[in-house]
Structure 1
């Protein structure tokens, strides 16, 4: 098919969702341009470089890499040709004062460790995994299709799934059915933080997060998680797509309720048949459209939405090796108090939890020989809390450092630091346009799930499609990838209805060339 007949897609934002959508579209015959405000790709999961040290800015592991493999397969590529994936065994080290729990995908080994550390709970672990496997089988089909109208709840998969979803209980409530030891409950509920929520408030559906980790494992791509997004960018360019960095979009061009393209900040107008929005959802709807275009998502209405917590990030280039696992979580003495301070009272905790990522243990590409790139995350309130981050900045850094120095392997960390950067909720908002600094996007409470979450297509505006953590099915890389697959499928169905289907991939591949 001649170039002028190919459908053109303009993608706003080169985050995980935007790149996934652009790869799927370009690999299936669309003419694709991606416009990214930042000088680097990846959005919240971009690469950060401090001197000779390299870091993942956000996500530090991959769950369910088979979803990625499927997306690469659809466009005739193999993920393994681009990315070297290493499974993490154990999954992580969970530190509860005098006890360290290191679960893995080996259920018998994990059960034996539970028997030793938390006696009497080992059989309940097996029961939890069996029950969650059933729930997971019911939930996944709902995460792979749009919820654009109320009647979507009447489809067979939804009707059979809803009784299993535990939507009227909480993640903590579900885990309390299985485990008697409070620390073991925390070990299977802390994953609610991936959604930026309290396990005491997060809908019980999301116990599947800990199940997914224990069932399918966690993976580290050599070079960091951002390596995956560079691989997607490679595929996009192989198919003739273009990625424009340091190229902000000023506005989506709308005429008569239909998007016609985008207006770049430099004044250039880009015509497009489809506009895919991967910018932070709340930021996008309040900044990229003329007032009145989106009556459902006005600035006033967006202020009333619920948002995830935020994070303070400390990226450290350290002289010498660090004797810690790839992932470590350090729980406070009272995790419930810590979580309530973050999500309800919105104050800084005196006894915070800490997540430490030590990828140099497995990956020599991230730091000079014999040195370590350390990533430290402390969950914090988002910017709706009354915290002066400019004033608190150094206090937070010092609190994180002292918390680290209390860990025997890091007792001398301060004297070994060669590079350092603190990234606060205010930085997430100001530098990466994350609304309210809510690192994990809009919350996943009952009023913001499935049909009640922003849909993959605006009802009041044609030819605009949404991908990323702020739309259905939600935040977290696996669901962000699913949002891209859903929206691309909707685009293709729309074009099929108008009888202007683009050239199928198999006919396009000879022209585009294969990957070797």
Structure 2
């Protein structure tokens, strides 16, 4: 293996073009710049962050556009440490307790509730109020998923650009814990008889845009991650993290060019050799694409350079659901019992999910509400509230006429907020923005408005998902790429892509981009 000094000399003068300043692009740029590469980051927007940004609306309201919290921020902290910095010196991350308030809809209102907490004894007490027998099984569920996560973590950290990766030592160790024939809900039935309790540990599959009744049982680790490692709110919103990453990247020498539209990737033979930006070529030794996979790959890479992902295959790929969003600036306070996160789970949740995946607009939807002002007073002016409302809906493949459906669906969502104790807000609205799947497609370049990217079924995971090393000189990061969607997983994908890129340029195996705080394996 090359020593660090030799490695830096091998990388000296090498240029990398990173396209897209979302979380994956920012993380990759940081790691590559720390390794000694000259990194230029192109972003078509006027701000960094992609969908992980915070916007200020008229009236002083602040809203996260997409993700509203951080799960398992240790990976992000590791990336900052790899760059010789401490995450906490750049962003204040507040751990939420309770993490969220789950409300289960019944026949005539609510049929129960759970205030989810990482304190196991308190969580048992919460569950015992609606299902005493299930509460007793909580320690066993946590113990099994602690083992499952430990076994599968090395799998999420490895590249799957060769089919033989499917029989790597990490995969063989993890296989006994995968149970491919079981869904998340089916796996949870071994511990929890009450469907409401199972929902408390399975609704997290919405982070992947999938149904808990079809999502592979592996993903029970999502809820375990929340309980074991916490849910965090970055003060100032999730965009504060993106801005902190961009600030550190600039310190490391990354040239961030905002308002720069990349038209396509340039190739010399089979190898990516740069990008065309606003009509001008930019030559590079390697190119990293960070964006919605299905849309970005077809727009920027000719079909001849993606034989495993031709247009027909991309179009036939299975996509996640979309979301109907409301960003509401409200004069006055919220009800006293409304916490930071509230989740209303529809009375017939299984039917609700079947409607979403089947392309039908539900008349009794589940919804998620973020009241960030409960934790962070800077998200709205004094005496006002910034409310973020998300409703999972079918993606645009459903053919729903959103021009016609949108006004009525808006009224329906406002009416369902009453179940959370949020009533009579329309007269107090001082700002309102609504996004439906068309907006995700048109404003944010999300293919078919599928906000959680490619679905995470077994046929679109690991080797079967788009590879981090997509071709000679061309690398991918983002939710459509291995390991998958969700901020911690995207950051892990950035570490994989950066490591592969460095290995290819150096011509030797690079060490893992994960070291003790304040050190970097690529520093002299």
Taking structure 1 as the reference length, the TM-score comes to 0.94
- Asked if the contact 1:50/1:420 (under 8 Å) is kept, the reply is no
Deviation at 1:498, TM superposition (A): 7.0
- Asked if the contact 2:478/2:484 (under 8 Å) is kept, the reply is yes
* 2:207 aligned residue: 194
Aligned pairs (5 A) from 1:50-449: 50-51=57-58, 52-96=60-104, 97-264=110-277, 266-323=278-335, 324-343=338-357, 345-408=358-421, 410-449=422-461
Deviation at 1:50, TM superposition (A): 1.4
Q: Give the secondary structure class of the aligned counterpart of 2:381.
A: coil
Deviation at 1:245, TM superposition (A): 1.5
Distance 2:25 2:263 in 1: 17
Structure 1 unaligned regions, length at least 5 = 511-516
Aligned pairs (5 A) from 1:443-462: 443-458=455-470, 461-462=471-472
Deviation at 1:117, TM superposition (A): 2.1
Distance 1:56 1:326 in 2: 13
* 1:486 aligned residue: 496
Match of 2:29 among 14, 22, 25: 22
Instruction: Mark the CA change 1:261 to 1:370 in structure 2 (over 3 Å): closer, same or farther.
Output: same
Instruction: Mark the CA change 1:243 to 1:455 in structure 2 (over 3 Å): closer, same or farther.
Output: same
Q: Give the secondary structure class of the aligned counterpart of 2:398.
A: coil
Greater mean deviation of Cα atoms: 210-219 or 117-126: 117-126
Distance 2:253 2:521 in 1: 15
Query: 1:449-477, CA deviations, whole angstroms, 9 ceiling, x for partnerless residues?
Result: 1111111112xx30101101001000000
Deviation at 1:403, TM superposition (A): 1.1
Distance 1:507 1:226 in 2: 28
Distance 2:375 2:510 in 1: 48
- Asked if the contact 1:94/1:102 (under 8 Å) is kept, the reply is yes
* 2:47 aligned residue: 40
Count, aligned residues: 502
Distance 1:509 1:488 in 2: 15
Structure 2 unaligned regions, length at least 5 = 1-7, 105-109, 512-518
Deviation at 1:405, TM superposition (A): 3.3
Distance 1:20 1:243 in 2: 13
- Asked if the contact 1:405/1:413 (under 8 Å) is kept, the reply is no
Q: Give the secondary structure class of the aligned counterpart of 1:43.
A: coil
Root-mean-square deviation (Å): 1.9
Q: Give the secondary structure class of the aligned counterpart of 2:17.
A: strand
Taking structure 2 as the reference length, the TM-score comes to 0.93
Deviation at 1:508, TM superposition (A): 9.8
Greater mean deviation of Cα atoms: 4-13 or 207-216: 4-13
- Asked if the contact 1:429/1:437 (under 8 Å) is kept, the reply is yes
- Asked if the contact 2:330/2:428 (under 8 Å) is kept, the reply is yes
Distance 2:79 2:292 in 1: 23
Distance 1:499 1:78 in 2: 27
Distance 1:481 1:134 in 2: 22
Instruction: Mark the CA change 1:400 to 1:440 in structure 2 (over 3 Å): closer, same or farther.
Output: same
Distance 1:407 1:371 in 2: 18
- Asked if the contact 2:264/2:275 (under 8 Å) is kept, the reply is yes
Deviation at 1:28, TM superposition (A): 2.1
Q: Give the secondary structure class of the aligned counterpart of 2:190.
A: helix
- Asked if the contact 1:11/1:32 (under 8 Å) is kept, the reply is yes
Q: Give the secondary structure class of the aligned counterpart of 1:443.
A: coil
Distance 1:155 1:33 in 2: 34
- Asked if the contact 2:21/2:41 (under 8 Å) is kept, the reply is yes
* 2:515 aligned residue: none
Q: Give the secondary structure class of the aligned counterpart of 1:365.
A: helix
| 2:17 matches 1:10 | yes
Distance 1:94 1:85 in 2: 23
Instruction: Mark the CA change 1:57 to 1:507 in structure 2 (over 3 Å): closer, same or farther.
Output: closer
Q: Give the secondary structure class of the aligned counterpart of 2:376.
A: coil
Deviation at 1:292, TM superposition (A): 2.1
Deviation at 1:154, TM superposition (A): 2.2
Distance 2:73 2:476 in 1: 22
Distance 2:62 2:80 in 1: 26
Q: Give the secondary structure class of the aligned counterpart of 2:455.
A: coil
